[in-house]
Amino acid sequence: MIPGPFSYHRPSSVADAVKLLVSLGDEARPLAGGHSLIPMMKLRLATPEHLVDLHGIAGIKGVRRDGSTIVIGAMTTQHDLLASEMISKSLPILHETALVIADPQVRYRGTVGGNVANGDPGNDMPALMMTLGASYTLQGPGGTRSVVARDFYQGAYFTSLEPGEILTAIVIPAPASGHGYAYEKLKRKVGDYATAAAAVVLTMSGGKVATCAIGLTNLSETPLLAEEAAKIVIGTGLDEATLKKAAAAAEEIMSPAADGRGPIEYRKSVGGIMVMRALKRAAARAG
Amino acid sequence: MNDMAPTREQREAKLEGMGCKRKRVEDARFTQGKGNYVDDLKLPGMLHGDFVRSPHAHARVISINSEKALKVPGVLAVITAETLKTVNLSWMPTLAGDVQMVLADGKVLFQNQEVAFVVATDRYAADDGINAVEVEYEALPVVIDPFKAMDKDAPVLREDLVGKTSGAHGPRKHHNHIFEWTVGDKDLTDAAFRKADVTIKELISYHRTHPSPLETCQCVASFDKINGDLTIWGTFQAPHVIRTVVALIASLPEQKIHVISPDVGGGFGNKVGAYPGYICAAVASIVTGKPVKWVEDRIENLTATSFARDYHMTTEIAATKEGRVTGLRVHVLADHGAFDACADPSKWPAGFFNIVTGSYDFPTAHLSVDGIYTNKAPGGVAYRCSFRVTEAAYCIERGMDILAQKLGMDPAELRLKNFIKAEQFPYHSALGWEYDSGDYHTAMKMMMETVKYADLRKEQAAKREAFRRGETRDIMGLGVSFFTEIVGAGPSKNCDILGIAMFDSCEIRLHPTGAGIARVGSKSTGQGHETTWAQIIATEIGLPADNIKVEEGNTDTAPYGLGTYGSRSTPVAGAAIAMAARKIKAKAQMIAAYRLEVHEDDLEWDIDGFRVKGLPEKTMSMKDICWAAYNSVPPGMEPGLEAVSYYDPPNMTYPFGAYICVMDIDVDTGVYKVRRFYALDDCGTRINPMIIEGQVHGGLTEAFAIAMGQEIRYDETGNVVTGSFMDFFMPTAVETPHWETDFTVTPSPHHPIGAKGVGESPNVGGVPAFSNAVNDAFSFLGSTHIQMPHDFWRNWQAAKRLGAVG
């Protein structure tokens, strides 16, 4: 449970961090909150020779409004999210989700940027970002670009990040006022990854669903957007039959692994249940 | 003046003796991070050892190449079985009469088995070193399923035993067989089954789990080359036993071995036995002449040092149609892993599993246990229980519920009908025990009245109807458990460890100012002995508990004792403390008589001193007697005031309790909610009610964890798949239910203060309460028995199997 030897770097700007990552190559890893990387290093499943700590970089932490979007700096911690009034007001689903991520100690240290950039299918924020239509700002040797969350995830721990690139910010279009939302997470205990989780953001009009997006956590190699399921509920009043149909459509795209959280059949089944519960709760909240 | 004298109540309260909720004196240091644990120990020049472990569950070790490891800066030595053979320590004896490899000798038999020990100048270098050791393995077929271990063509696991047709506990009937142990009257039991109106038969498995104390197993060994003294600081629940084992296997004179258990962060049975880490650290220290520290990490603790349970119990009960039990027949397949390293009293290969008749008046019973080897970690320790008592309690308490279901009777009613009656004590059980005391009916009825049992059953019936009508997806279960433990090992007539009778001991020395020190052969791993032992002495000899320092764990200063496990501290050491105190009191009485110029028989004890009968103003306090003991004792009497007692208990003690768990389960997700848990314990005389309550809370939390998900699980190739707290269920405060505690008091008639021990009761009684609640919830859907652990996905699977989920 002790990492192998490594060198530690603490750049003070994104440009310097990028330079370091480029010059040190494959053997370097950026370090944010460290809650995924450090345990892997302790088990020697990850053995980077260089750690590039992003904590010394000013300006990539904090939440701000930019027109119709909300911008979250990559080094913003889950605790910062929970403490942010802007988040509670404009993106309450982020608040609700951050509360079910690990435990307070982890949330003090774990960052939103690290959570979305690592590509761990068990992380809660990626599916949420897909649901919200967020995009990620990536800064690398070739300059700055933006990738939408829905295109970012390619496989377990495999993302659109190019060598030397750092995710510096998350840009989220502010959801319509009066939107309904819910993040339903089934987990074995505090601190665990989801056995299955579903994020729902919707708007209602005249008792019917007007718009809807559904994201799924830890039910495949990547976070999923359950587009078919969302389509099914639009225009309905979320009656039992529709909910079941939506759940079935969501289950269609799930391909979870069998692990200590349960066999595949179970994880898919409760994945459907989470979708139904999230839809119901979101609809009840919609103004 | 007399108005100013303290009242009797004030004098008693000042002592903080038995019955007082005295605050734990240990907590001042524990809550401030000032405890002194093994890993806090830093000696000059101390080295660090770490293990290379096997990735395979069964493999031949072709070669071990240390060349690269020895080039890692800071690495000083790599110890292998070949090294240990030079000092005849490549294998070591287990407490169960088997032998165990210290380091892989030719082959490995379980995943994470110790293969080589790397010694380095710091922990980091040691870890780099183990990653540089190159081991070549040739994988062998594995035996994981215990039910396949004795197949004709099952792979031979223990090549060292080939050709040995008998072991420490009699004949072996297969190459992977360890022992068969039978108790009871087979013929009479068979006859009872032939005559029975109703019988049940069920395979009730108690899965493999692990005690997982907060502090893992660890030690520092330091060999003094000049004097030839070996000092080992370690996380030992039984330091004296460790010293004797070291003396026997290392051929060192026992007076040259100093074993010290400093503060220990939980044991729960995990820290009773001897582990390869201790031997390797000691050998490394002898070789290098420097202190060597070995500290397990969490994964090593869960996967390599002693597991618990793994008992597969085929349970049969015979009964009349009115619900009187007439016979019990149990066969156990006991999976011991690669070596039989159970920490039971030596003559008891299945511990006290023959307490399996439980709280019921079975006219006859028969038990047989087959111990077998598999490619899993060795152990089989008593995880917060007296040896195999948890398994036995689970077996009978689940069995009684299954019988109730078959009879169409309420499980509480069936128990009341079959309890041993208060007037039957001392009660001789069909499997050979003499229960000392009990009042089961009173405890059970108190539980049922407190929780309004009849109302709960009515609510359950209504809920079931609502479920059938499709109005709810929740099902409700009531888990009744009435356990009888057997603790306090034990009488020398039937209990020993490696030939040493399982007595315990206490030495009390009082100082002139009315203070003193008590040294005891037990060893607290969190139970609060420094608090409670002083309370016993306070009541016995009338000095405030605050004036008594309690010391344990140092084999040089503490009298020889067998340590703390199996709830034996209060029944055995607690008795020794009372007996030593009484010796002191007897001498004190002679001193007082001399000083008060009366005959001894004219004195009577009064809270904190003696008074002359009929002359209440003529008194001498214990405090004054202490002073007198050092300056004016009767002619011919030795000065001083100290005593030692070695207590050989005449019998075990039999704590009992009535528990109930009320649980709701959402069939769609399998998620359960413990709505209520009520635990009534009878541990005889209560020394410190606050500590008892804390013990019950802790034990119930463990029971909850075990029943609802805490498991050491292997895949079919022998990989441990629950080797960290991510997958091994360790509940936090969020998951842990609220506990309601209650009690009755039925003192032990043979114990000097009537106390029975309580630390393990909640683990023993809790597990069946949780499991019965789950099983009771599902029973109306047609289920008889669902195996533990009852985690969410298994509950969902049960619901699906029973047609409750689409």
Nearest CA to B293 out of B226, B216, B232 is that of: B232
Chain A residue with minimum CA distance to B50: A1
E-strand stretches of B462-503: 474-484, 496-497, 500-501
Please report whether residue A102 resides in a domain.
yes
Residue pLDDT, tens place only, B266-301: 999 999 989 999 999 999 999 999 999 999 999 999
What interface predicted TM-score (ipTM) does this complex get?
A: 0.96
For B421-447, b where at least 16 C-beta lie within 10 A, e where not — what string?
Answer: eeeebebebbbebebbbbbbeebbebb
Chain A residues lying within 8 Å of B297, measured CB to CB:
1
Residue with tokens 């190159």: B134
Range of lowest pLDDT (A195-199, B341-345, B413-417):
B341-345
Q: Please tell me whether residues A196 and A164 are part of one structural domain.
A: no
Vertex A173 angle, CA A167 and A176, to 5° = 155
B147 vs A: CB within 8 A: no
What is the rounded CA–CA span in Å between residue B160 and residue B171?
16
Distance CA B352, CA B388 (A): 6
Residues of B whose CB is below 8 A from A188: 709, 729, 791-792
- Do the bridges between strand B548-552 and strand B515-520 make them parallel or antiparallel, or are there none, so unpaired? parallel
Token duo for residue A15: 């440009």
Q: Answer whether A172's CB lies under 8 Å from A69's CB.
A: yes
| pLDDT interval class at A1 (50, 70, 90) | confident
Mean pLDDT (whole number) for B181-185: 98
A68 and A35 in a common domain = no
Q: What is the pLDDT of residue B251?
A: 83
Task: Give residues with Cβ within 8 angstroms of B61, minimum separation 6.
Answer: B104, B106, B107, B108, B115, B135, B136, B137
Is the domain of A46 the same as that of A72? no
* Type of residue at B27: D
Contact A243, A276 (CB under 8 A): yes
Residue of B nearest to A193 (CA): B726
Are A121 and A187 in a shared domain?
no
Nearest-CA residue of chain B relative to A43?
Answer: B299
Q: Do A269 and B721 touch (CB under 8 A)?
A: no
Q: Is B307 helix (H, G, I), strand (E, B) or coil?
A: strand
B501 in A contact zone (CB under 8 Å): no
Q: What's the number of domains chain A is made of?
A: 3
Using alpha carbons, select from B25, B22, B28 the residue that is nearest to residue B524: B25
**A266–B797: do the CB atoms touch at under 8 Å?**
yes
The answer to whether residues A219 and A236 belong to one domain is yes
Q: Are the Cβ atoms of A189 and B732 closer than 8 angstroms?
A: yes
Identify the pLDDT of residue A236: 98
Q: Does residue A250 lie within any of the structural domains? A: yes
Does one domain contain both A128 and A208?
A: no
Same structural domain, A67 and A169: yes
Question: What is the rounded average pLDDT for all residues in chain A?
Answer: 97
Chain A: nearest CA to B623, how far in angstroms? 51
Please judge whether B726 and A269 are an interchain contact, meaning their C-beta atoms are less than 8 angstroms apart. Answer: no
Backbone angles phi, psi at B279, to 5 degrees: -65, -45
Contact state of A270 with B669 under an 8 Å Cβ cutoff? yes
Instruction: Tell me if chain A has a CB within 8 Å of the CB of B124.
Output: yes
* Residues B231-250 pLDDT 10s: 999 999 999 999 998 998 88
Q: Per-residue confidence at B2, pLDDT binned at 50, 70, 90?
A: low
Which residues between 370 and 409 in chain B have a beta carbon less than 8 angstroms from any beta carbon of chain A? none
Q: Which residues of chain A make contact with B666, given a CB cutoff of 8 A? A: none
**Residues A82 and A50 grouped into a single domain:** no
- Crossing angle (nearest 10°) for helices A240-253 and A264-285: 130
Residue B450 CA: distances (Å) to CA of B16, B446, B704: 31, 6, 21
E strand or H helix at B170, and its extent? strand B170-171
- Which domain CATH number covers A188? 3.30.390.50
Give the distance from residue A273's alpha carbon to the nearest chain B alpha carbon, in angstroms. 7
Q: Which of A1, A260, A270 sits opposite B727 (nearest CB)?
A: A260
Could you identify the residue written with the tokens 């109106």? Answer: B197
Is there a domain that residue A1 lies in?
no
Q: Which of B218, B237, B405, B527 is catalytic?
A: B237
The side-by-side arrangement of strands in the sheet containing B218-224 is: B75-79, B114-120, B47-53, B292-295, B218-224, B229-234, B257-260
pLDDT tens-digit series, residues B95-140: 899 999 999 999 999 999 999 999 999 999 999 999 999 999 999 9
What does the pLDDT read at residue A27? 94
CA distance A132 to B419: 63
Nearest to B269 by CA among B379, B371, B349: B379
Asked if the Cβ–Cβ distance from B131 to A4 is below 8 Å, we say yes
Residue A171 pLDDT = 98
Q: How near does any CA of chain B get to the CA of A188, in Å?
A: 8
A231 located within any domain: yes
Residue B645 corresponds to which amino acid? S
What residues of A are in contact with residue B735 (Cβ under 8 Å)?
189-190
| B298 contacts A1? CB cut-off 8 A | yes
| A284/A274 Cα distance (integer angstroms) | 15
A192 & A274 share domain? yes
Could you give the 3-state DSSP secondary structure of residue B19? coil
Report the 10 Å Cβ neighbour count for B66: 20
| pLDDT at residue B248 in the model | 87
Cβ contacts of A262 on chain B, cutoff 8 Å: 792-793, 796
β-partners of residue B519 are B507, B551
Among B669, B720, B727, the residue to mutate for chain A (most A Cβ within 10 A):
B669
B237 classed as catalytic: yes
- Angle (CA) A250-B726-A31 rounded to 5° is 85
pLDDT > 50? residue B1: no
CA distance B219 to B259: 10
- CB–CB contact A190 B299 (8 Å): no
Mutate to test the interface with A, among B726, B735, B736 (most CBs of A within 10 A): B726
Which has the closest alpha carbon to B333: B148, B529, B74, B121? B148
Mind listing the pLDDT tens digit for each residue in A59-110? 999 999 999 999 999 999 999 999 999 999 999 999 999 999 999 999 999 9
Contact check, Cβ <8 Å, A269/B796 = yes
Residue B3 has pLDDT above 80, yes or no: no
Higher pLDDT, B175 or B345: B175
Show the domains of chain B with their CATH numbers: 2-35+504-647 (3.30.365.10), 38-140+216-264+271-303 (3.90.1170.50), 307-489+652-801 (3.30.365.10)
What is the Cα–Cα distance from B698 to B696, expressed in whole angstroms?
A: 5
Chain A interface, best mutation among B298, B793, B794, B796, by max A CB count within 10 A: B793
Which of B385, B395, B495, B506 is labelled catalytic?
A: B385
User: Which of B727, B735, B797 is nearest residue A190 as measured by Cβ atoms?
Assistant: B735
Would you say residue A159 lies in a domain?
yes
Which residues in A lie closer than 8 A to residue B131 (C-beta atoms)? 4, 44
Residue A209: inside a domain: yes
Q: Is residue A2 part of a domain?
A: no
Is B190 an interface residue toward A (CB < 8 Å)? no
Query: CATH no. for residue A85?
Result: 3.30.465.10
Residues of A with CB under 8 A from a CB of B: 1-2, 4-5, 44, 103, 186, 188-192, 195, 259-263, 266-267, 269-270, 273
In one-letter notation, the amino acid at residue B191 is: A
Q: What is the DSSP letter of B86?
A: T
- Rounded CA gap, B583 and B786, in Å? 54
8 Å CB contact of B731 and A4: no
Last residue of a domain, one of A173, A196, A229: A173
Domain that holds residue A82: 63-173
pLDDT (tens digit per residue) in A253-274: 999 999 999 999 999 999 999 9
Question: Residues A148, A218: one domain?
Answer: no
Query: pLDDT exceeding 90 applies to what percent of chain B?
Result: 96
**Using the beta-carbon criterion (under 8 Å), do B128 and A266 form an inter-chain contact?**
no
CB nearest A188 (choices: B124, B729, B797): B729
Does the beta-carbon distance from A188 to B792 stay under 8 Å? yes
- Contact B55/A at CB under 8 A: no
Query: So what's the pLDDT on residue B250?
Result: 84
Query: Between β-strands A166-173 and A69-73, what pairing exists: parallel, antiparallel or unpaired?
Result: antiparallel
Integer CA distances (angstroms), B406 to A116, B399, B777, B785, B787, in order: 55, 11, 15, 12, 18
Q: Which of A69, A122, A270, A97 is nearest to A199 (CA)?
A: A97
* End residue of a domain, out of A173, A192, A213: A173
Chain B residues inside the 8 Å CB shell of A273: 668-669
Catalytic residue, from B329, B384, B398, B611: name it: B384
In tens, the pLDDT along B614-670 reads 998 999 999 999 999 999 999 999 999 999 999 999 999 999 999 999 999 999 999
- A168 and A70 housed in the same domain: yes
Shared-domain flag, residues A67 and A49: no
CB contact under 8 A, B732 and A186: no
Q: B548: closest CA among B574, B513, B582, B505? A: B513
B385 is known as an active-site residue: yes
Residue A191 covered by a domain? yes
Residue B16 structure tokens: 């903080």
- Where residue A37 sits, what CATH number does that domain have? 3.30.43.10
- Find out whether B726 and B224 touch, Cβ atoms under 8 Å: no
Contact A106, A123 (CB under 8 A): no
